[in-house]
Amino acid sequence: MKRKSIIKRTISLLVICFLGFMSYKIYQKMSHKKQVAQQTATLPVFSFTDLERNTFTNSNLKGDLATIFVYFNSECDYCSYEAQSIQTNLSRFRKAQFVFISTEDKDVIEKFARECKLLGVENVIFLRDKVHNFAKNFGANSIPYSLIYNKQGILLARYKGQIKAETILRVLAKQ
């Protein structure tokens, strides 16, 4: 009888501990999401490496253009489709600059840019995030992941997953 009581109490204590731990994790995740939303409401300070291995920061952006960040991976088909859609419609993006960011090696990023016919294109920048700061600071938890900022650096839209150039153009037209 005493043994059953000890087992019941132990199980009850484990369940309470588990529920407490899960509640804490949920609270922590919600707090992080809220913090990221506040951080990214305006263009946050960032520092990545361009394909020439130079540091690229906010100050390198053209202040008179809207900025579209695209977090990508070269092996992601959706990322390729999004990049191709942007490339096809480049002439319609005269008032925008694209910043493609990946955690992959320079050569892999360069190959992706070349295959999508975006390497060396004006107002299209490819950056490397060696230490995975973009995902953490911009809240990217999927690829592709896109953020659209107006020329004042105010977030207009955030997209998880592939979007078409027409969607970006629609968002930019509303500003």
The string of pLDDT tens digits covering residues 76-93 is: 999 999 999 999 999 999
Output 171 or 8, whichever has higher pLDDT: 171
CATH of range 47-173; options 3.40.50.300, 3.40.30.10, 1.10.357.10, 3.30.70.3190:
3.40.30.10
pTM (two decimals): 0.80
- Pairing label, strands 96-102, 66-71: parallel
**Tokens standing for residue 49:** 């490496």
pLDDT of residue 119: 94
| Averaged pLDDT, 43-60 | 93
Cα–Cα distances in Å, from 175 out to 22, 67, 70, 158?
A: 41, 13, 19, 15
User: Looking at the predicted structure, is the pLDDT value of residue 154 above 80?
Assistant: yes
User: Looking at the predicted structure, is the pLDDT value of residue 36 above 60?
Assistant: no
